[in-house]
Amino acid sequence: MTEKVYIDPENIDFSLIRKAADLIKQGGIVAVPTETVYGLAVNLKMQASVNRLFELKKRPQEKNFTLHIPDESDVDFYLEVLPPYGYRLIEKFWPGPLTVIFYSKIIPGTLGARVPNHKVCREILKETFTPVIISSANISGLPAAVNSQQAEEYFPEGLDLIVDSGPCQYKTASTVLDLTQHPAKIIREGALPKKDIWSIIRKKRVLFVCTGNSCRSVMAEYLLKLYISRDSFLSEDIEVESAGTLALPGSSVSEETIFLLKQEGIDASGHRARRITREIVHTADIIIVMEQKHKESIAAIEPKAFSRITHISSFLPDLPDRDIPDPIGGSEDVYRQSFAVIKTAVQNIADWLKE
């Protein structure tokens, strides 16, 4: 009979976590809990163990298993750069019951991946330090096990360990989304409803970038938010953010910017600066920069984002290829001049988004 251990999610015994992880690293098959269904975990780097999993489940070899990773930030180690809505789905639903399929960096072809929302499972994944695939604990074609007892009934022999952490939360498999197709295609609707997925995919995210994220990009962000709030179509489908290439995270907006936006009926006093990161870049469909050097900074962070970067002068027909100078430290008139140019550009951006 297969050994079975209980790990309390609220009082985790890390010696048992290490035991499960070591077995997986060494080529064992371990039944583990997730928030969806119980799964069988295997070291992806050990082909003999993967083959053994196929045999144990009586699963066709052409059907791939899903990579389970402990943290959403790990996705770029295993998959190629996703489309922006792919990262927004991860931002919204990971950890959680969403599997995304995209081009793999570690095996030929495509690979499904997800971050489970289960404390015990994620701790085991963290401890393995190797790519782990997890397939539902069942014989292929039969309902997946939703507790350790059912996993044990399916596999009275053949497993190296069963980890019991109580029944699964959803008791149904994850939703599987293929991002290699355009538009994305739901391969299997599971615990995550398709309406929740499409509500993210249909949206576009506009990102304004300046240097300090305390004046120019803030002006643009809040003006565009104001304009799209007046249009029911845009307000549902457009998100607006800003960041700075050299921003001091958490710093406040300049007083001059707060004053100018207040005259438009906008309160930006609560805005706090963000420094641009690869993660922020990944989620944006349209990146609008104030200066050419910002475009170069972003491209250095993520070269594949280059085609999504636009200079704000693109929306100023009378001022082609002109940078918007940084007004920080300048006079009130300098701020007003920058604000006037940005306001005109943002009005044109709002009109362009309606097309």
Q: How many CB atoms lie within 10 A of CB 28?
A: 18
DSSP states of 283-299 as a string? H-SEEEESSHHHHHHHH
CA gap 60, 140 in Å, rounded: 8
Do residues 210 and 274 both lie within one domain?
A: yes
Which of 150, 174, 193 terminates a domain? The answer is 193
Do residues 211 and 186 both lie within one domain?
A: no
Q: Among 114, 210, 215, 274, which one carries the catalytic annotation?
A: 210
First to last CA, the chain: 65
* Per-residue pLDDT band at 205 (split at 50, 70, 90): very high
* Per-residue pLDDT band at 63 (split at 50, 70, 90): confident
CATH of the domain at 275: 3.40.50.2300
Cα three-residue angle 327-214-340, rounded to 5 degrees: 45
| pLDDT of 1 above 80 | no
Do residues 20 and 162 both lie within one domain?
A: yes
Does residue 275 sit within a domain? Answer: yes
* Residues constituting the chain: 355
* Structure tokens given for 309: 């970067």
| pLDDT of 24 above 70 | yes
Host domain of residue 340: 203-354
Do residues 179 and 212 both lie within one domain?
A: no
Q: Among 216, 231, 274, 285, which one carries the catalytic annotation?
A: 216
| pLDDT of 320 above 80 | no
Is 326 labeled as catalytic in the residue annotation?
yes
The shares of helix, strand and coil residues in the chain, as percent rounded to the nearest 5, are 40, 20, 40
Is 114 labeled as catalytic in the residue annotation?
no
Do residues 158 and 235 both lie within one domain?
A: no
Contacting residues for 221 by C-beta, under 8 A, at least 6 apart: 208, 240, 241, 242, 271
- State the average pLDDT for the chain: 96
Amino acid residing at 351: D
* Per-residue pLDDT band at 321 (split at 50, 70, 90): low
Which of 144, 167, 193 terminates a domain? The answer is 193
pLDDT at residue number 60: 80
CA gap 112, 86 in Å, rounded: 13
Do residues 82 and 124 both lie within one domain?
A: yes
Do residues 186 and 214 both lie within one domain?
A: no
CA gap 214, 1 in Å, rounded: 64
pLDDT at residue number 9: 96
pLDDT at residue number 62: 65
Do residues 169 and 216 both lie within one domain?
A: no
Count of domains in the chain?
2
Which of 135, 164, 193 terminates a domain? The answer is 193
Q: Among 326, 333, 336, 351, which one carries the catalytic annotation?
A: 326
Do residues 176 and 265 both lie within one domain?
A: no
Whether the Cβ atoms of residue 125 and residue 79 lie closer than 8 Å to each other: no
Cα three-residue angle 199-203-209, rounded to 5 degrees: 140
pLDDT at residue number 317: 85
Does residue 198 sit within a domain? Answer: no
CATH of the domain at 64: 3.90.870.10
Cα three-residue angle 165-171-176, rounded to 5 degrees: 115
CA gap 199, 196 in Å, rounded: 5
